[in-house]
Structure 1
Amino acid sequence: MATNDHAPRGIVVFSGGSAANSLVDVFGAVRENKSCPLSYIIPISDNGGSSSELIRIFGGPGIGDVRSRLVRLIPESPPNSERAAIKSLFNHRLNSNAIAAHDEWQSIVDGTSETWKSITPAKKELIRAFFNLLNLEILKRARPPTSTFDFTSASVGNLFLTGARLFSGSFESAIYLLGSICGVPSDLVRVIPAINSNFSHHISASLEDGTIIVGQNSISHPSEVTPLHPRPRRPSLLLADEEEDASSSSDGVPYEDNHLPGSLPSLRNKNINFSKSQTEDLPTRISRIWYINPYGQEIRPPANPRVLGEIRHAQAIIYCIGSLFTSIIPSLILRGIGKAILSSPARHKILILNGSIDRETGPPSHPFTAVDFVKAIARAGEDSHGRGHTGRHINKDTDAVTTSAASTIPLPYTSYVTHILHLEGPGTPKVDRERLAEMGIETLRLYGRKITSDDGQTVVGVRYDSTALIQALEIVMGRGGDAMIRGTLSGGLNRRNTLENPVRQ
């Protein structure tokens, strides 16, 4: 990617969807104060929710997090303005009842839905053109009464993005179109998919006990009891009992009508409905994430060249809050990412530590600490360019997988993480400042607000205060950053928001 040597170096944020959306205004303020571009790197491995049905019928990348970020970036506007109406349209989800959802979709396609109110005819007809194209493609693929598209809880924004991708043949062109319609200033803020592809890319996870979970939704937010597979002797995860069931899927849809050759049965299930707050704990820690092809074999897809270009021209790299193994690491393990981060001119590589422990960074008996987060990020980066630190080797002749003891070569932690911003309180990951200092990593504790359980009785984590986080990022990135020494500040941050204050309700 060609860059202008005189242009200000940008900020690169690795993130997923919903969690990081809460910090969009924070990053926007830092970008504005630094007068530089801001790039969000978003993975496309999500196979849950509305995206799962689009992938089932059309294939293609998981687009939900990309759409979510683009719509979140729409500038604030008066409630009755066209921009507000467009934001509402692309944020809208269809009814949770299948029949009602189908009728609602038809009213949107017909142009009679109330969601079109306040949108000018010119823009309405442009958007409707892509809805009509998608609707035609859905009808062409229908095989009633079994193989039909399920509109239940479908995201209208996801439907538009898919229609635009099918029309243009380009995922990034579809992103550009949605961003342009939404008024996102692409010269200042960029939403870039980690992989530029029109095909689905799924991930698998191995646990420390050797079992394997297939598919991002099953790893992060399973809609049913997580299917745990024993470690395979070969890269293929298509087990014998699954091969016997490959002639038809669980919902009676003829396999040959609906799925690509070799598609894993565990990836053919609908994952439309799931809970992000109520999930079972994993039996052991996640040890590794990798990409798989439709047959379940490990692959090493290359990163989007635009992502590599942004990293190579960055003044700061930020690993945002969110699911560590399904929001951050799927981008880091892509071929080229580790090398780009190692060679990046960015002096500051900042991890914003989660304010709570989730399913991926458990189990409760052995939760991840800040050191574990750093190690996972560094190992992912090293894995992206085959450094062998994972101790996992593939025989090129037989495709057999063998696992050996982890390499004794120390991981270059500070090449991936130089600073950690974190909260402290019930439910937050433990931060061992002395151990992190030995690793060469600076830490800064921030003010936050407690998060309670649904019944309001239990504190489950802490949420960042936007003002404190903006100030901390600016300090680390140049406004007094050299004065920071392992969790204390000599000045520059409002004392009311500092690290030594207790966490407030």
Structure 2
Amino acid sequence: MRTAASRALGEQVRRWRRWLVPGIGIKRWLAVVGAGIVVLSAGTVTVAALEVPAATGALARALGRLGPWAWLVPTVLLLGGGILVLVGVRATLRSIDRVLFPTGQPTLVEVLRRQRTRGRGPRIVALGGGTGLSTLLRGLKAYSSNITAVVTVFDDGGSSGRLRRDLGVPPPGDLRDCLVALAEAEPLMTRLFEYRFPGGALDGHALGNLFIAGLVGVTGDLEQAVREASRVLNIRGRVLPATARDVVLVAEFADGSVVEGESAIPRVRKPIRRVALRPPDVPALPEVLEAIGEADLILIGPGSLFTSVIPNLLVPGIADALRGARAPRIYICNVMTQPGETDGFTAVDHVRALEAAVGGRVCTHVLVNTQLPRNAELLRRYHAEGSFPVDPDLEPLARLGYEVVAAAVISEEEVLRHDPRRLARAVMRTAAWAAPRRKPIAAT
């Protein structure tokens, strides 16, 4: 019987043989490289013959007949062999480049440089959910491939809610958003994951949600399903649910009333006293706690304060892991208030709500937007919905003992939200200041 080592060797040989199939244009240049190596070897032997004639016999005597011209032979051989190797390697790389990047953009060298730069990037953990977290991830992936997104899985509305009720699977919507945000796959594949069916039995379902739900059914495990989806999209980093258990989000309002369900909470339009998980003792994924402990930078938010950000911190073990982490921990405050959740909230109100939810501080820094929206028409639309810019409250935040990071990070293209590139740039600059031993990381 074949051993595991021999099977692995056979598989490796088969992989290498694929590079020799017709049409790629590599075989001829590999032959040139091989010829160059042979010529270089001959040149090395002739040098040895001239340096140690007693050990090489006939070759040394033949070279000796050339007299002062004897050293010309190894010189020509070494120079010619070197040229053949350089030409062959360059042409081989160009052939691979044309196959992988037929348009010429980007080039293979550029991709390798980016991958190496990102691979050396800081280990970043980002906690949140919804649109806020996916917006942040789109900017962060230019700085590092070592990103762990920790996502809430408590959604009960829309496509995710229907799949949760009908199939009993954890809601995949926020997981899908983060997978797409970190994706390196072709644009068509990411658009496919975001595609929503316009009618029929699948009306409103996102294809990515159905795909993840199907993977949960095949693998029997949410974590494994997310890992497989990550491979399909070739994501930069990893996405983890805060917990793999089925959890319901519960809110208690200022008047004492209680409502269950993430999607139902903002619709009540009353001040929220607190939110809780039901059941409350669900375990955090060990990988999440490990990632927090090993992180170089931890980001909390942006996102819906009571239904996306705080729920992650309520999973037992996560808040304690954050407090024990050595990395800078930055809370990214929202740029706009959210009707039904943070009506009238300033940046200080956001931070105090965060502290009240977890029984103390979990952040070292607070990043706030200081750029007022200038798109009057867009601003009027938000005002009509009861949403207003969040007052940055810089001095009160500083009095609370936080390191305050003020930055212009708003985007006004179609909606008022964080700009992914500006936000990521501000975050990475803050990380460099907070941890001066690290060299600043440039975007790629």
**1:10 is matched with which residue?**
123
Q: Secondary structure at the match of 2:226?
A: helix
Larger radius of gyration: 2
AA aligned to 1:317 is I
**Aligned residues, how many?**
304
Q: Secondary structure at the match of 1:443?
A: strand
AA aligned to 1:439 is L
Q: Secondary structure at the match of 1:477?
A: helix
**2:273 is matched with which residue?**
287
With over 3 angstroms needed to count, the CA separation of the structure-2 counterparts of 1:160 and 1:64, relative to structure 1, is: same
**1:305 is matched with which residue?**
286
1:159 Cα deviation from its structure 2 partner: 1.1
1:202 to 230, 248, 255: 248
1:161-198 per-residue CA deviation (whole Å, 9 max, x = no partner) reads 1111112111111111111111124xxx110000023x
**1:112 is matched with which residue?**
none
1:9 Cα deviation from its structure 2 partner: 5.7
1:421 Cα deviation from its structure 2 partner: 3.1
**1:40 is matched with which residue?**
149
1:33-86 per-residue CA deviation (whole Å, 9 max, x = no partner) reads xxxx1111101000111111111111121111101211232226xxxxxx3332
Note the 1:228-239 alignment, pairs <5 A. none
With over 3 angstroms needed to count, the CA separation of the structure-2 counterparts of 1:467 and 1:55, relative to structure 1, is: closer
> In the alignment, is residue 218 of structure 1 matched against residue 321 of structure 2?
no
> In the alignment, is residue 420 of structure 1 matched against residue 370 of structure 2?
no
1:466 Cα deviation from its structure 2 partner: 4.3
1:309-362 per-residue CA deviation (whole Å, 9 max, x = no partner) reads 11111121111221111111111011011110111111x211221110112443
Q: Secondary structure at the match of 2:432?
A: coil
1:273-328 per-residue CA deviation (whole Å, 9 max, x = no partner) reads xxxxxxxxx13x212111124xxxxx331211111111111121111221111111
CA–CA distance in 2 between the matches of 1:29 and 1:208? 42
Contact map agreement 1:9 1:315 (CA 8 A) in 2:
yes
1:122-145 per-residue CA deviation (whole Å, 9 max, x = no partner) reads xxxxxxxxxxxxxxxxxxxxxxxx
**1:192 is matched with which residue?**
240
Note the 1:243-282 alignment, pairs <5 A. 282=269
1:21 Cα deviation from its structure 2 partner: 2.2
AA aligned to 2:405 is L
1:176-230 per-residue CA deviation (whole Å, 9 max, x = no partner) reads 1111111124xxx110000023xx311111111211121001013x5xxx4xxxx
Q: Secondary structure at the match of 1:61?
A: coil
Contact map agreement 2:135 2:418 (CA 8 A) in 1:
no
More helix by share: 2
CA–CA distance in 1 between the matches of 2:121 and 2:410? 34
CA–CA distance in 2 between the matches of 1:305 and 1:289? 24
2:175 to 66, 71, 79: 66
With over 3 angstroms needed to count, the CA separation of the structure-2 counterparts of 1:437 and 1:85, relative to structure 1, is: closer
CA–CA distance in 2 between the matches of 1:466 and 1:168? 33
1:157 Cα deviation from its structure 2 partner: 1.2
With over 3 angstroms needed to count, the CA separation of the structure-2 counterparts of 1:432 and 1:421, relative to structure 1, is: closer
CA–CA distance in 1 between the matches of 2:125 and 2:285? 14
1:371 Cα deviation from its structure 2 partner: 1.4
CA–CA distance in 2 between the matches of 1:53 and 1:462? 28
1:361-417 per-residue CA deviation (whole Å, 9 max, x = no partner) reads 433xxx1121121122223333xxxxxxxxxxxxxxxxxxxxxxxxxxxx3x3x424
> In the alignment, is residue 478 of structure 1 matched against residue 432 of structure 2?
yes
CA–CA distance in 2 between the matches of 1:87 and 1:467? 19
CA–CA distance in 2 between the matches of 1:169 and 1:192? 16
**1:370 is matched with which residue?**
347
**2:203 is matched with which residue?**
152
With over 3 angstroms needed to count, the CA separation of the structure-2 counterparts of 1:462 and 1:50, relative to structure 1, is: closer
**1:432 is matched with which residue?**
393
CA–CA distance in 1 between the matches of 2:173 and 2:285? 18
Q: Secondary structure at the match of 1:40?
A: strand
CA–CA distance in 2 between the matches of 1:204 and 1:86? 36
Q: Secondary structure at the match of 2:284?
A: coil
Contact map agreement 1:48 1:217 (CA 8 A) in 2:
yes
1:451 Cα deviation from its structure 2 partner: 4.3
AA aligned to 1:164 is L
AA aligned to 1:152 is D
Contact map agreement 1:337 1:381 (CA 8 A) in 2:
no
AA aligned to 2:272 is I
1:181 to 209, 213, 232: 232
Contact map agreement 2:347 2:390 (CA 8 A) in 1:
yes
With over 3 angstroms needed to count, the CA separation of the structure-2 counterparts of 1:307 and 1:92, relative to structure 1, is: same
With over 3 angstroms needed to count, the CA separation of the structure-2 counterparts of 1:480 and 1:416, relative to structure 1, is: closer
AA aligned to 1:89 is L
2:160 to 51, 73, 82: 51
> In the alignment, is residue 169 of structure 1 matched against residue 209 of structure 2?
no
AA aligned to 2:356 is R
Structure 1 runs of 4+ with >6 Å offset? none
With over 3 angstroms needed to count, the CA separation of the structure-2 counterparts of 1:436 and 1:291, relative to structure 1, is: same
Contact map agreement 1:9 1:313 (CA 8 A) in 2:
no
> In the alignment, is residue 333 of structure 1 matched against residue 314 of structure 2?
yes
CA–CA distance in 1 between the matches of 2:403 and 2:187? 41
Q: Secondary structure at the match of 1:471?
A: helix
AA aligned to 2:188 is A
> In the alignment, is residue 90 of structure 1 matched against residue 190 of structure 2?
no
AA aligned to 1:356 is M
CA–CA distance in 2 between the matches of 1:19 and 1:216? 16
With over 3 angstroms needed to count, the CA separation of the structure-2 counterparts of 1:361 and 1:431, relative to structure 1, is: farther
CA–CA distance in 2 between the matches of 1:466 and 1:84? 18
Q: Secondary structure at the match of 1:317?
A: strand
TM-score by length of 2: 0.63
Contact map agreement 2:219 2:225 (CA 8 A) in 1:
yes
With over 3 angstroms needed to count, the CA separation of the structure-2 counterparts of 1:480 and 1:330, relative to structure 1, is: closer
Q: Greater relative contact order (Cα 8 A, min sep 6): structure 1 or 2? A: 1
AA aligned to 2:286 is P
Q: Secondary structure at the match of 1:71?
A: helix
**1:116 is matched with which residue?**
none
1:11 Cα deviation from its structure 2 partner: 1.0
**1:20 is matched with which residue?**
133
Contact map agreement 1:323 1:360 (CA 8 A) in 2:
no
User: What are structure 2's unaligned runs of at least 5 residues?
Assistant: 1-119, 374-387
